[in-house]
Chains A and B, each alone.
Chain A
Amino acid sequence: MSLNCSDLCPLWPCEDKKEYKGVWVVGEVSEKGLHEASLQMLTPALKVSKKLRSEVVGVLIGYNVKKYADEFIKHGASKVIVVDDKALSTYYPMLYGDVIVELAKRFKPELILIAATMRGREMAPYIANTLKTGITADCTDFDVDEKTGDVLQIRPPFGAMLLAHIKTPSRRPQVSTARPNVFPVPPRDDSRSGEIIEVKVNVRKPRMKLISVKKIKKEEVPIEKAEVIVSGGKGIGSKEGFKVLEELANLLGGVVAGSRKAVDAGWIPRERQVGQTGKSVKPILYIAVGISGAAQHMFGVREAGVIVAINKDENAPIFRQADYGIVSDYREVLPKLIEYINSLKKEPRLLKELIE
């Protein structure tokens, strides 16, 4: 495609997209170190870079962050660009965003991947927009259009079980985010080595100031790490209804989660929301109670080992997306289930009978 700058919005820089090379993963660093979600972005980065015959570059900005560069390399990056500056000791979306923008202008990557953590979702659209390029949020897969070299950013749009393949045909860099736990962290290889490029960037004065930070109590097991999840939806009907789910979850060594409807109703906190707009989970066992099975919800449990559905509506779509379905009212079934598991605990001999 030849460049025709007069066709472009004059606010956009007119540049040949062929000048842009490399796939970037922007790292998020907190006092706990490099965020696992950032390392997960190396998986799609490696896939895309292979097809584009380019390299994966980690990007680290902040203060005292150089020590994390090796993490990026051991998990698959070839290079890491580091901006280590005292002026970046506090994260501000615009300040950090402007540094990434500066780096992108200088090094011209073809794709920038950012984990859609809360900070990532705050900063990524700013970066893309300031570069006057497109951004695709919450991608679940990536591919490359071999002819044009455009990255296909694949995401489930609003609607049915559909995937939209989104391209940014004329602009570079392409920018995408993906939710944590959609991709695995690529295996660590301690024999890998790579180049660390330290860069100085002119850091602007932030027009905001962090006044205080208060840690909020971390829950014992976050739903994305749980092996057993008992999840409730609209059919639970009330906050009190979740008590019996909690009881079952405790008995199975699991945790309670919920659908968007349950979260919107205030029955369960937002950090326990499963689905496209919540979290992706991968328990061995997912018990969906009073959940109809909307595509957005089911996306979040696609990696669950076994899905059990308990719903009194036999036409609920969840029954066609579950392994074991029970058409019943949870109010009757769950107490019996709890009672039954308790009796099995006391009488392991009953277990044998069940298996035979």
Chain B
Amino acid sequence: MVRVVVGIKWVPNTQAVRFDPKTGTLMREGVPSIINPPDLSAVEFALKIKERYGGEAIAITMAPPSAVKGLEHVLGMGVDRAVLISDRAFAGADTLATSYVLAEAIKKISRDVGKVDLAVFGQETIDSSTAHIPAQTASWLRWPYVYYVTDLEIKDDKVVVSRVLEDRVEKYELELPSVISVFMESIEARDVRLLHKLRAKIEKPIVVWSNKELKLDPRCIGLKGSPTMVSKITWTLEVPRKKIVYKPKDPEDAARWLISMLLKDEKTSKIFKWVVGG
């Protein structure tokens, strides 16, 4: 029996963000939120563990109430229950304050529901890509942790994981409880199943925890509990480019034009002459 908590983030769908060519900015209005895609792999991992060893999978997210949609999705995938951690007091949190709340929620699950053996996260989010939360949560919990996990096995009170680095695959054994972060989208997430959806409709396994339930010191959460702050936003300096755009008559015309431009350009002429043996 293994109790797995999986952390998910409700993020703006960066793929749906459109570019405004007139202003050179990205248009974010009306962009729908989605479950951070790497987190779906983490959910799949949690479900596989549950199916293999028995136990339960619990999803947690710290988000505005609209994230219920995301939690309904993972319940539809087969997650047993979900916790929505939602309170204005948590707003404006950086990764330290966010991970603090998540770690405290995991402790509360251990107290109220039963001992948590494993906390699983996605590698990073598509909106900020910091990859901070898994390590920070491990730091608060004082649990051993490892990133970039592609495979996992539970052996007694230990977990054996495979993980990838730039040039190697490593196998580690960690004491339980521990925190793991799943290598990007290394495992495909299953679809929602009607049976699970119906069960979720009937059992309503989503609980909402505000700070009334978690009882955290207001100095440790939200903006106050965040050591970092954005002091200002500036525009990046655009790299000067020639911006010559050509609409060729036909593919052959395109090829000729490009090669002649690259040969005339002092930056690229050298490599081109070499390539063509000139």
Quick check: is A29 within 8 A (CB to CB) of the other chain? no
In angstroms, how far is the closest chain A Cβ from the Cβ of B53? 19
Quick check: is B113 within 8 A (CB to CB) of the other chain? no
Q: Which of A130-150 contact B (CB under 8 A)?
A: 130, 132-138, 145, 150
Interface of chain B: mostly helix, strand, loop or mixed: mixed
Cβ-defined contact, B135 with A159, below 8 A: no
Quick check: is B194 within 8 A (CB to CB) of the other chain? no
> How many Å lie between the Cα of A333 and that of B146 in the bound state?
46
> How many Å lie between the Cα of A285 and that of B270 in the bound state?
11
Number of interface residues of B (CB under 8 A): 101
Quick check: is A225 within 8 A (CB to CB) of the other chain? no
Which residues of B lie under 8 Å from residue A292 when comparing CB positions?
19
Quick check: is A324 within 8 A (CB to CB) of the other chain? yes
> How many Å lie between the Cα of A203 and that of B167 in the bound state?
27
A90-122 interface code vs B (CB 8 A; 1 in, 0 out): 001110010000000000000000000111011
Cβ-defined contact, A126 with B136, below 8 A: yes
Quick check: is A171 within 8 A (CB to CB) of the other chain? yes
> How many Å lie between the Cα of A88 and that of B196 in the bound state?
47
In angstroms, how far is the closest chain B Cβ from the Cβ of A74? 25
Cβ-defined contact, B129 with A276, below 8 A: yes
Q: What are some 25 contacts across the A-B interface (CB < 8 A)? A: A9-B224, A93-B135, A122-B148, A126-B138, A129-B132, A129-B135, A133-B96, A134-B94, A134-B228, A135-B96, A137-B130, A158-B12, A161-B24, A163-B233, A163-B235, A168-B228, A285-B262, A294-B19, A302-B239, A319-B245, A323-B241, A323-B243, A324-B258, A340-B255, A354-B256
A-B pairs, top 6 by smallest CB distance, nearest first, are A134-B227, A134-B228, A9-B220, A129-B139, A325-B245, A336-B251
Cβ-defined contact, B260 with A354, below 8 A: yes
Which residues of B lie under 8 Å from residue A130 when comparing CB positions?
139
Quick check: is B268 within 8 A (CB to CB) of the other chain? yes
Which residues of A lie under 8 Å from residue B95 when comparing CB positions?
125, 135
A44-62 interface code vs B (CB 8 A; 1 in, 0 out): 0000000000000000000
Cβ-defined contact, B136 with A129, below 8 A: yes
Quick check: is B26 within 8 A (CB to CB) of the other chain? yes
Cβ-defined contact, B172 with A210, below 8 A: yes
Which residues of B lie under 8 Å from residue A202 when comparing CB positions?
none
Cβ-defined contact, B254 with A156, below 8 A: no
Cβ-defined contact, A170 with B227, below 8 A: yes
Quick check: is A214 within 8 A (CB to CB) of the other chain? yes
Which residues of B lie under 8 Å from residue A335 when comparing CB positions?
251
Knowing A216-B167, A271-B166, A284-B271, the reply to whether A321 touches B129 (Cβ < 8 A) is no
In angstroms, how far is the closest chain B Cβ from the Cβ of A119? 7
Residues of B at the A interface (CB closer than 8 Å) are 12, 14-15, 19, 21, 24-26, 28, 37, 94-96, 99-100, 124, 126-136, 138-140, 144-148, 160, 164-175, 178, 184-185, 217, 219-220, 224-236, 238-239, 241-248, 251-252, 254-265, 267-268, 270-271, 273-278
> How many Å lie between the Cα of A161 and that of B271 in the bound state?
31
Cβ-defined contact, B21 with A315, below 8 A: yes
Cβ-defined contact, A253 with B278, below 8 A: no
Which residues of A lie under 8 Å from residue B140 when comparing CB positions?
129
Q: Which of A244-278 contact B (CB under 8 A)?
A: 251-253, 261, 264, 270-271, 276-277
Residue of A nearest to B132 (CB): A125
Among A133, A214, A299, the one with the most B-chain Cβ atoms within 10 Å of its Cβ is A214
> How many Å lie between the Cα of A324 and that of B168 in the bound state?
38
Knowing A170-B227, A307-B241, the reply to whether A327 touches B246 (Cβ < 8 A) is yes
Cβ-defined contact, B26 with A160, below 8 A: yes
Which residues of A lie under 8 Å from residue B135 when comparing CB positions?
93, 97, 122-126, 129
Q: Interface stretch among A65-73, A79-87, A186-194, A343-351?
A: A343-351
Which residues of A lie under 8 Å from residue B130 when comparing CB positions?
125, 135, 137-138
Which residues of A lie under 8 Å from residue B258 when comparing CB positions?
308, 324, 326, 337
> How many Å lie between the Cα of A159 and that of B273 in the bound state?
40
In angstroms, how far is the closest chain B Cβ from the Cβ of A318? 10
Cβ-defined contact, B96 with A314, below 8 A: no
Cβ-defined contact, A211 with B160, below 8 A: yes
Residue of A nearest to B253 (CB): A336
Cβ-defined contact, A341 with B275, below 8 A: yes
**Other A-B pairs, 7, CB within 8 Å; known A126-B145, A214-B168:** A121-B131, A129-B139, A138-B130, A164-B230, A165-B231, A213-B168, A336-B252
Which residues of A lie under 8 Å from residue B144 when comparing CB positions?
92, 94, 206-208
In angstroms, how far is the closest chain B Cβ from the Cβ of A22? 19
Cβ-defined contact, B166 with A159, below 8 A: no
Which residues of A lie under 8 Å from residue B235 when comparing CB positions?
161-163
